Structure 1
Amino acid sequence: MNRIDNDLLSVQEARILVENAREAQKILATYPQEKLDKIVGRMAEATYKCAKELAIMSHEETGFGKWQDKFIKNIFASDFLYKKIKDMKVVGIISEDKENRTMDIGVPVGVIVALPPSTNPVSTTIYKALIAIKSGNAIIFSPHPKAKKTIGKVLDILIQAAEESGLPSGAIGYLRTLAVDGTAALMNHQDTSLIMITGVPQMVKVANISGKPTINGGPGNGPAFIERSADIKKAVADIIASRTFDNGVVSASEQSIVAEDCIADEVKDELRRNGAYFLTVLESERLGKFFYRHDGSMNPEIVGKSAVEVARRIGLSVSEDTKVLISEQKYVSPTNPYSREKLCPVLAFYVEKDWMNACEKCIELLINEGRGHTLVIHSNNEHVIREFALKKPVSRVLVNTPATLGGIGATTNLFPALTLGCGASGGGFTSDNVSPMNLINIRKVGYGVRQLEDLTTGVQVVEAAESVGNSCFASQRSIDSTHDLKELLEKLLEQLR
Structure 2
Amino acid sequence: MENIDRDLQSIQDVRRLVEKARQAQQEYCKFSQEKMNKIIEHVAESAGLQAERLAKLAVEETTFGNLPDKIIKNKFASEIVYENIKDMKLVGILRDDKDRKVLEIGSPVGIIAGLVPSTNPTSTVIYKSLIALKSGNAIVFSPHPKARHCIAEAIKVVSDAAVEAGAPLGMVSGMSILTMEGTHELMKNVDLILATGGSAMVKAAYSSGTPAIGVGPGNGPAFIEKTANIKLAVKRIMDSKTFDNGVICASEQSIVVEKCIKDEVVDELKRQGAYFLSKEQSEKVAKFILRANGTMNPQIVGKSAQKIAEMAGITVDPNARILISEQTTVGKDNPFSREKLTTILAFYCEENWEKACERCIELLNNEGIGHTLIIHSNNEEIVKEFGLKKPVSRILVNTPGSLGGIGATTNLVPALTLGCGAVGGSATSDNVGPRNLINIRRVAYGVKEIEDIKNFVSNCSDRETSHTVLDISDQYIELITKKIAEKLSL
Could you list the per-position Cα deviations for residues 207-258 of structure 1 after superposition, in whole angstroms to 9, with x for gaps in the alignment?
Answer: 2221112211211100000000000000000000000000010000000000
What is the aligned partner in structure 2 of residue 96 from structure 1? 96
What is the aligned partner in structure 2 of residue 74 from structure 1? 74
What is the aligned partner in structure 2 of residue 161 from structure 1? 161
- Shift of the alpha carbon at 1:455? 2.7
What is the aligned partner in structure 1 of residue 172 from structure 2? 172
- Shift of the alpha carbon at 1:405? 0.4
CA distance in 2, matches of 1:347, 1:311: 14
5 Å-filtered alignment, 1:364-383, equals: 364-383=362-381
- Shift of the alpha carbon at 1:473? 11
Does 2:30 match 1:30? yes
- Shift of the alpha carbon at 1:395? 0.5
What is the aligned partner in structure 1 of residue 398 from structure 2? 400
Distance 1:128 1:473, change over 3 A: closer
Q: 1:261 touches 1:354 (CA, 8 Å); kept in 2?
A: yes
What is the aligned partner in structure 1 of residue 182 from structure 2? 182
CA distance in 2, matches of 1:92, 1:108: 10
Partner residue of 1:300 out of 293, 298, 301:
298
- Shift of the alpha carbon at 1:452? 2.8
CA distance in 1, matches of 2:202, 2:367: 16
What is the aligned partner in structure 1 of residue 426 from structure 2? 428
Amino acid at match of 1:268: V
Could you list the per-position Cα deviations for residues 181-214 of structure 1 after superposition, in whole angstroms to 9, with x for gaps in the alignment?
Answer: 111110112xx11111112322123222211122
CA distance in 1, matches of 2:351, 2:437: 45
Amino acid at match of 2:30: T
CA distance in 1, matches of 2:283, 2:477: 88
5 Å-filtered alignment, 1:12-31, equals: 12-31=12-31
Q: 1:108 touches 1:439 (CA, 8 Å); kept in 2?
A: yes
TM score, norm. by length of structure 2? 0.93
What is the aligned partner in structure 1 of residue 245 from structure 2? 247
Amino acid at match of 1:317: T
CA distance in 2, matches of 1:224, 1:452: 57
- Shift of the alpha carbon at 1:463? 5.9
Distance 1:133 1:462, change over 3 A: closer
Distance 1:462 1:222, change over 3 A: closer
CA distance in 2, matches of 1:178, 1:462: 63
Gaps of 5+ in 2: 479-490
Distance 1:467 1:202, change over 3 A: closer
5 Å-filtered alignment, 1:101-112, equals: 101-112=101-112
Does 2:313 match 1:315? yes
- Shift of the alpha carbon at 1:460? 4.6
Distance 1:159 1:473, change over 3 A: closer
Amino acid at match of 2:363: L
Q: Give SS of 1:104's match.
A: strand
What is the aligned partner in structure 2 of residue 259 from structure 1? 257
Q: 1:116 touches 1:200 (CA, 8 Å); kept in 2?
A: no
Distance 1:164 1:387, change over 3 A: same
Q: 2:196 touches 2:202 (CA, 8 Å); kept in 1?
A: no
Query: Share of identical aligned residues, percent?
Result: 56
CA distance in 1, matches of 2:310, 2:246: 17
5 Å-filtered alignment, 1:409-424, equals: 409-424=407-422
What is the aligned partner in structure 2 of residue 484 from structure 1? none
What is the aligned partner in structure 1 of residue 487 from structure 2? none
CA distance in 1, matches of 2:468, 2:222: 65
Distance 1:143 1:455, change over 3 A: same
Q: 1:47 touches 1:126 (CA, 8 Å); kept in 2?
A: yes
Q: Pick which of 291-300 and 249-258 moved more.
A: 291-300
Distance 1:265 1:102, change over 3 A: same
Could you list the per-position Cα deviations for residues 79-115 of structure 1 after superposition, in whole angstroms to 9, with x for gaps in the alignment?
Answer: 1110110001111111232222222211111111011
Could you list the per-position Cα deviations for residues 313-342 of structure 1 after superposition, in whole angstroms to 9, with x for gaps in the alignment?
Answer: 111122221100000000101100001011
Distance 1:277 1:445, change over 3 A: same
CA distance in 2, matches of 1:341, 1:81: 26
Q: 1:395 touches 1:423 (CA, 8 Å); kept in 2?
A: yes
What is the aligned partner in structure 1 of residue 446 from structure 2? 448
Q: Give SS of 1:373's match.
A: strand
Q: 1:115 touches 1:200 (CA, 8 Å); kept in 2?
A: no
Q: Would you say how many aligned residue pairs link Structure 1 and Structure 2?
A: 477
Q: 2:198 touches 2:217 (CA, 8 Å); kept in 1?
A: no
Distance 1:29 1:271, change over 3 A: same
Q: Pick which of 395-404 and 439-448 moved more.
A: 439-448
- Shift of the alpha carbon at 1:450? 2.5
What is the aligned partner in structure 2 of residue 195 from structure 1? 193
Distance 1:110 1:465, change over 3 A: closer
CA distance in 2, matches of 1:203, 1:250: 17
What is the aligned partner in structure 2 of residue 136 from structure 1? 136
What is the aligned partner in structure 2 of residue 337 from structure 1? 335
CA distance in 2, matches of 1:383, 1:468: 47
What is the aligned partner in structure 2 of residue 492 from structure 1? none
Does 2:13 match 1:43? no
Distance 1:41 1:458, change over 3 A: same
Q: Give SS of 2:103's match.
A: strand
Q: Give SS of 1:312's match.
A: helix
Amino acid at match of 2:321: K
- Shift of the alpha carbon at 1:377? 0.2
Q: Give SS of 2:191's match.
A: strand
- Shift of the alpha carbon at 1:5? 1.4
CA distance in 2, matches of 1:225, 1:452: 57
- Shift of the alpha carbon at 1:474? 11
Amino acid at match of 1:424: A
What is the aligned partner in structure 1 of residue 63 from structure 2? 63
Output the aligned Cα RMSD. Answer: 2.1
Does 2:218 match 1:220? yes
Amino acid at match of 2:274: A
Q: 2:218 touches 2:372 (CA, 8 Å); kept in 1?
A: yes
Distance 1:368 1:466, change over 3 A: closer
Q: Give SS of 1:210's match.
A: coil
What is the aligned partner in structure 2 of residue 483 from structure 1? none
TM score, norm. by length of structure 1? 0.92
CA distance in 2, matches of 1:468, 1:259: 61
Q: Pick which of 75-84 and 443-452 moved more.
A: 443-452
CA distance in 2, matches of 1:33, 1:381: 45
What is the aligned partner in structure 2 of residue 438 from structure 1? 436
Partner residue of 2:354 out of 330, 353, 356:
356
- Shift of the alpha carbon at 1:441? 1.0
Amino acid at match of 1:301: Q
What is the aligned partner in structure 1 of residue 121 from structure 2? 121
Amino acid at match of 1:235: A
Q: Pick which of 412-421 and 192-201 moved more.
A: 192-201
Q: Give SS of 2:159's match.
A: helix
Distance 1:223 1:460, change over 3 A: closer
Could you list the per-position Cα deviations for residues 441-497 of structure 1 after superposition, in whole angstroms to 9, with x for gaps in the alignment?
Answer: 11122222223333333345456678899999999x9999xxxxxxxxxxxxxxxxx
- Shift of the alpha carbon at 1:351? 0.3
CA distance in 1, matches of 2:470, 2:255: 72
Amino acid at match of 2:456: G
